């Protein structure tokens, strides 16, 4: 059945994928131009995480239109961002600016400006524009309250629709309107239909099922299975200059701060669309096949495994999800048909890109727009208020899993999804760490971290602080899960099967106290009610011992440094 469906897909029924209802910059611009004052003098501002060459703000403007890029020191100093993220953004902006300049466009580039407003005021005064065009930022509220920016820079501001995503706001809102709860899996199926992705001629999923995740749960990676080296771009002169500037301007304030020589060795992210295309090719050819089966696996042998690492170029606009989907399908469909590539890997990857990523963006956009007393980012449904332990910053802890997951974060601003969810967020969930502090940490620490994508993942998926808007249950797990899905426990000084005593695994010890603390909420959820029923198997004295030891240990680790 699967082969027949694939055959039809690739021969009789040419895919319409990605035509859908997505907003295209050129469509918007044609409609808009008719309404714009023909005499207005327009300038375009490119924001650092919008270096996409197809930005709607650039569409249709004439070649003389001045374009401005601003590196704001004030913005970068407000938070201890990872140096990897700052180098990435500055280098990607500088490459984009140079490309535009080489094409004869008038570019005004403010290197290390004091702040956005003063640089933009200078741009407005120097060019004589009366309208500054900017694409709607990815982070909601980034331009401040209506009218504020106009007042600050002294000219009209025109916001063009954001076209960095596959699904536009009206389409998602219409889909959401018809539902009482917004379930990702339902949205994903609708996206498959809308984009005509991995469907047979009758509009049914290739392979007969929408979600093939049950084939994607391999935990142990065979010792003789070679793990591919991650794709790496050697820093060119522009990136090296960005490294020197970031080191000189922000130095030790940065997350993961280290010497410029070390930064040159560690910085390997794509900084141009050509680099990002090469990264995608590398993923398709060397890692997609094993992406599915080992998607949830973790190992101290490799930080990169078979993941794509494409969130970094995608989130700053170097790679459009449309291109990822089109090229993945072009590469994968003939191979799946021939039987040389597993469909579960392709479906699993496509689901992350057209499902989870788009869903998270829109759920957060809608939540952030609400005028609620408790804004989404401030929610704390489980009343967790313990401060974030020091080891999230230093990586120094005796917990082998946490240490191994933090190492690539500190060095590269990256670790893959399962360490984020089932180790770093899970630790915080079980131990009642403040969701707001955890969210801030994720935004600072990751090269792909921005408010719009980190917040729903941390507040919603990781810490269940939104009370179940994003996740259908809290992702809480003890040491047994981590032991099953990784090789970390083999080298750990703690034992995953011990819940009390000096060798007790902190995850295992904290698990039942967590269930006990939240039993009323967990009992009402069909996906977690069994957890609460199982709680009765634990004696009262055993529960008390775990609660007391867990609490005492947590109090001790704020200033704790491991012995070795």
User: Applying CB under 6 A, which residues contact ligand FAD?
Assistant: 307-311, 314-315, 349, 352-353, 356-357, 360, 416-417, 420-421, 425, 442, 446, 448-449, 453-454, 457-458, 461-462
Structure tokens at 421: 């969810």
Structure tokens at 265: 């060795």
Q: Which is nearer to ligand SF4, 119 or 477 (CB)?
A: 477
Q: In whole angstroms, how close is the CB of 525 to ligand SF4 at the nearest point?
A: 25
Q: Which is nearer to ligand FAD, 166 or 353 (CB)?
A: 353
Q: In whole angstroms, how close is the CB of 407 to ligand SF4 at the nearest point?
A: 13
Report CA 182 to chain centroid distance, whole Å: 19
Q: Which is nearer to ligand FAD, 44 or 254 (CB)?
A: 254
Q: In whole angstroms, how close is the CB of 404 to ligand SF4 at the nearest point?
A: 8
> Buried b vs exposed e over 121-139: b needs ≥16 C-beta within 10 Å?
ebbbeebebebbbbbbbbb
Report the greatest alpha carbon distance in the chain.
79
Show contacts with ligand SF4 in window 454-493 (CB under 6 A): 479, 482-483, 488-489, 492
Q: Which is nearer to ligand SF4, 52 or 400 (CB)?
A: 400
356 binds, among ligand SF4, ligand FAD, none (CB under 5 to 8 A by kind): ligand FAD
Q: In whole angstroms, how close is the CB of 446 to ligand FAD at the nearest point?
A: 5
Q: Which is nearer to ligand SF4, 233 or 492 (CB)?
A: 492
Q: Which is nearer to ligand FAD, 352 or 519 (CB)?
A: 352
Q: In whole angstroms, how close is the CB of 332 to ligand FAD at the nearest point?
A: 14
401 part of the interface to ligand SF4, by CB under 6 A? yes
Q: In whole angstroms, how close is the CB of 131 to ligand FAD at the nearest point?
A: 32
416 binds, among ligand FAD, ligand SF4, none (CB under 5 to 8 A by kind): ligand FAD
Q: In whole angstroms, how close is the CB of 441 to ligand SF4 at the nearest point?
A: 19
Is the separation of the CB atoms in 204 and 60 below 8 Å?
no
Cα–Cα distance measured from residue 434 to residue 386, given in angstroms and rounded to the nearest whole number: 5
482 binds, among ligand SF4, ligand FAD, none (CB under 5 to 8 A by kind): ligand SF4
Distances from the Cα of 482 to the Cαs of 155, 402, 409, 485, in angstroms?
55, 10, 19, 5
399 binds, among ligand SF4, ligand FAD, none (CB under 5 to 8 A by kind): ligand SF4
Cα–Cα distance measured from residue 39 to residue 175, given in angstroms and rounded to the nearest whole number: 39
Is the separation of the CB atoms in 508 and 479 below 8 Å?
yes
Q: In whole angstroms, how close is the CB of 515 to ligand SF4 at the nearest point?
A: 17
Query: Which one of 103-111, 215-223, 397-405, 512-520 is the stretch in contact with ligand SF4 (CB under 6 A)?
Result: 397-405
Show contacts with ligand SF4 in window 505-534 (CB under 6 A): 505-507
The 3-state DSSP class for residue 156 equals strand
Q: In whole angstroms, how close is the CB of 481 to ligand SF4 at the nearest point?
A: 8
231 binds, among ligand FAD, ligand SF4, none (CB under 5 to 8 A by kind): none
Q: Which is nearer to ligand SF4, 399 or 522 (CB)?
A: 399
- List all residues 6 or more positions away from 319 whose beta carbon is below 8 Å from its beta carbon: 270, 273, 276, 277, 279, 280, 310, 313
Q: Which is nearer to ligand FAD, 200 or 451 (CB)?
A: 451
Distances from the Cα of 311 to the Cαs of 319, 321, 416, 448, in angstroms?
9, 10, 10, 6
Q: Which is nearer to ligand SF4, 288 or 400 (CB)?
A: 400
505 binds, among ligand SF4, ligand FAD, none (CB under 5 to 8 A by kind): ligand SF4
Give one DSSP letter per residue of 363-379, joined into a string: HHHHHHHS--SS-GGG-
Q: In whole angstroms, how close is the CB of 67 to ligand FAD at the nearest point?
A: 27
Q: Which is nearer to ligand SF4, 413 or 479 (CB)?
A: 479
Structure tokens at 167: 């699904």
Query: Which one of 67-75, 263-271, 348-356, 399-407 is the stretch in contact with ligand SF4 (CB under 6 A)?
Result: 399-407
In this structure, what DSSP letter does residue 226 have? P
According to DSSP, the residues that pair with 205 across neighbouring strands are 199
Q: Which is nearer to ligand SF4, 9 or 397 (CB)?
A: 397
Question: What are the two backbone dihedrals, phi and then psi, of residue 423, each rounded to the nearest 5 degrees?
Answer: -115, -65
Q: In whole angstroms, how close is the CB of 475 to ligand FAD at the nearest point?
A: 8
420 binds, among ligand SF4, ligand FAD, none (CB under 5 to 8 A by kind): ligand FAD
Cα–Cα distance measured from residue 132 to residue 158, given in angstroms and rounded to the nearest whole number: 6
Q: Which is nearer to ligand FAD, 59 or 305 (CB)?
A: 305
Cα–Cα distance measured from residue 95 to residue 238, given in angstroms and rounded to the nearest whole number: 7
Cα–Cα distance measured from residue 288 to residue 396, given in angstroms and rounded to the nearest whole number: 33
Q: Identify the H or E element spanning 113.
A: strand 107-113
400 binds, among ligand SF4, ligand FAD, none (CB under 5 to 8 A by kind): ligand SF4
Cα–Cα distance measured from residue 120 to residue 30, given in angstroms and rounded to the nearest whole number: 27
The Cα angle at residue 406 between residues 284 and 428, in degrees rounded to 5: 110
Q: Which is nearer to ligand SF4, 188 or 481 (CB)?
A: 481
Distances from the Cα of 441 to the Cαs of 12, 140, 326, 356, 455, in angstroms?
50, 19, 34, 21, 11
Instruction: List the one residue out of 97, 92, 96, 91 whose CA is nearest residue 240.
Output: 91
Distances from the Cα of 210 to the Cαs of 8, 172, 199, 270, in angstroms?
17, 20, 9, 32
Q: In whole angstroms, how close is the CB of 428 to ligand SF4 at the nearest point?
A: 14
Total number of residues binding ligand SF4 (CB under 6 A)?
15
184 binds, among ligand SF4, ligand FAD, none (CB under 5 to 8 A by kind): none
The 3-state DSSP class for residue 76 equals helix
According to DSSP, the residues that pair with 476 across neighbouring strands are none
Q: Which residues bind ligand SF4 (CB under 6 A)?
A: 399-401, 479, 482-483, 488-489, 492, 494-496, 505-507
């Amino acid at each position: 059945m699967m082969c027949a469906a694939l055959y039809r897909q690739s021969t009789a029924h040419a895919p319409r994928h990605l035509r859908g209802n997505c907003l295209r910059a050129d469509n918007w611009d044609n409609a808009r131009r008719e309404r714009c004052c023909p005499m207005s003098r327009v300038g375009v501002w490119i924001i650092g995480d919008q270096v996409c060459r197809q930005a709607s703000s650039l569409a249709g403007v004439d070649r003389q239109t001045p374009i401005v890029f601003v590196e704001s020191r004030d913005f970068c100093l407000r938070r201890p961002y990872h140096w990897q993220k700052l180098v990435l953004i500055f280098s990607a902006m500088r490459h984009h600016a140079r490309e535009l300049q080489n094409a004869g466009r008038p570019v005004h580039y403010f290197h290390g400006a004091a702040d956005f407003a003063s640089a933009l005021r200078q741009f407005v005064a120097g060019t004589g524009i009366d309208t500054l065009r900017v694409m709607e930022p990815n982070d909601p509220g980034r331009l401040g309250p209506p009218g504020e920016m106009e007042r600050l820079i002294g000219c009209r501001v025109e916001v063009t629709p954001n076209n960095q995503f596959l699904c536009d706001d009206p389409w998602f809102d219409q889909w959401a309107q018809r539902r009482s709860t917004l379930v990702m899996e339902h949205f994903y199926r609708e996206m498959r239909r809308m984009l005509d992705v991995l469907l047979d001629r009758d509009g049914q999923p290739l392979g007969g099922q929408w979600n093939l995740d049950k084939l994607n749960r391999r935990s142990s990676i065979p010792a003789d299975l070679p793990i591919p080296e991650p794709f790496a771009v050697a820093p060119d002169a522009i990136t090296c200059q960005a490294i020197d500037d970031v080191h000189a301007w922000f130095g030790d304030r940065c997350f993961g701060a280290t010497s410029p020589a070390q930064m040159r060795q560690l910085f390997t992210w794509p900084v141009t669309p050509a680099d990002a295309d090469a990264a995608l090719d590398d993923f398709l050819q060397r890692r997609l096949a094993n992406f599915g089966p080992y998607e949830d696996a973790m190992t101290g042998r490799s930080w990169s495994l078979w993941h794509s690492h494409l969130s970094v170029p995608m989130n700053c606009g170097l790679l459009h999800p449309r291109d990822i989907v089109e090229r993945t399908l072009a590469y994968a469909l003939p191979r799946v048909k021939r039987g040389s590539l597993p469909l579960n890997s392709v479906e699993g990857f496509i689901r992350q890109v057209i499902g989870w990523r788009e869903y998270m963006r829109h759920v957060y956009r809608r939540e952030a727009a609400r005028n609620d007393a408790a804004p989404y980012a401030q929610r704390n449904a489980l009343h967790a208020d313990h401060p974030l332990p020091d080891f999230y910053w230093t990586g120094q802890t005796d917990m082998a899993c946490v240490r191994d997951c933090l190492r690539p974060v500190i060095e590269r601003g990256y670790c893959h999804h399962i360490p984020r969810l089932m180790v770093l967020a899970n630790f915080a969930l079980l131990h009642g760490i403040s969701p707001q502090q955890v969210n801030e940490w994720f935004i600072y620490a990751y090269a792909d971290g921005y408010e719009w994508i980190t917040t729903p993942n941390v507040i919603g998926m990781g810490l269940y602080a939104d009370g179940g808007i994003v996740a259908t249950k809290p992702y809480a797990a003890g040491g047994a899960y981590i032991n099953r899905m990784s090789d970390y426990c083999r080298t750990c000084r703690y034992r995953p099967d011990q819940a009390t005593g000096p060798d007790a695994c902190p995850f295992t010890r904290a698990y039942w106290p967590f269930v006990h603390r939240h039993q009323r909420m967990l009992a009402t959820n069909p996906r977690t009610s069994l957890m609460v029923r199982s709680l009765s198997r634990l004696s009262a004295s055993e529960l008390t011992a775990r609660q007391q030891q867990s609490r005492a240990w947590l109090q001790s680790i704020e200033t704790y440094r491991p012995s070795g």
